[in-house]
Amino acid sequence: MASPEIEALSGALARLPGLGPRSARRAVLHLLKRRETSLATLLGALQAVNDRLSTCSICGNVDTSDPCAVCADPRRDARALCVVEEVADLWALERSRLFPGRFHVLGGRLSALEGVRPEDLAIDGLIRRVANGGVDEVVLAMNATLEGQTTAHYLAERLEQFPVRLTQLAHGLPVGGELDYLDEGTLAQALRARRPLA
């Protein structure tokens, strides 16, 4: 229908998560209509990221510098290490600006179904960072899924030989959560972990 170049762009966009063939075509039209603004901006941004992209050799974060901005920041507390499954999780925690320490990205979660074994994740690097000392607390910030929790338990076993405090994120009601609409699993977690009123 359109030229091969436009078709190729449409196909490349359609492969992004959240976009399908139809929305990719709409996005292409949007770009074509706004050549100087949208198209040039997106092109420049992609080019810049492509030129400078690297994976942090310390924590596994993706950034345009190695070590990444978090690892290179001297104000970050090196004694607290937060282990996450994916770079997306690191970014989510960074957006909240609540964790003052450093990170370690596993690059996935243990999964018998998908055949992901410990050696497929960045676990050796984590053990090495903890073994090198200087870390007081390791926060196992895995997802609250079966596989995430399996991974957290596995890591806890591997790390218990070191003199570090192992913690995990609290499970319970999300902010704004109404009991009536919550799943039973969350309710059970929240009840089990109930705390005395201050």
Residues that bind its own copies (CB under 8 A): 1-6, 8-9, 11-13, 15-19, 23, 25-33, 35, 38-50, 52-53, 62-65, 69, 86-88, 91, 94-95
Residue 39: CB minimum distance to its own copies, A: 6
| Residue 97 vs 194, nearer CB to its own copies | 97
| Residue 48 vs 131, nearer CB to its own copies | 48
Q: What distance in Å separates the CA atoms of residue 97 and residue 83, rounded to the nearest whole number?
A: 16
| Residue 53 vs 191, nearer CB to its own copies | 53
Residue 26: CB minimum distance to its own copies, A: 5
Residue 94: CB minimum distance to its own copies, A: 4
Q: What distance in Å separates the CA atoms of residue 112 and residue 33, rounded to the nearest whole number?
A: 47
Name beta bridge partners: 165: 137
Helix %, strand %, coil % of the chain (to 5): 45, 15, 40
Residue 62: CB minimum distance to its own copies, A: 4
Residue 178: CB minimum distance to its own copies, A: 23
Q: What distance in Å separates the CA atoms of residue 168 and residue 156, rounded to the nearest whole number?
A: 10
| Residue 53 vs 131, nearer CB to its own copies | 53
Q: What distance in Å separates the CA atoms of residue 121 and residue 195, rounded to the nearest whole number?
A: 35
To the nearest 10 degrees (0 to 180), the angle between helices 4-14 and 21-33 is 120
| Residue 6 vs 190, nearer CB to its own copies | 6
Q: What distance in Å separates the CA atoms of residue 149 and residue 155, rounded to the nearest whole number?
A: 10
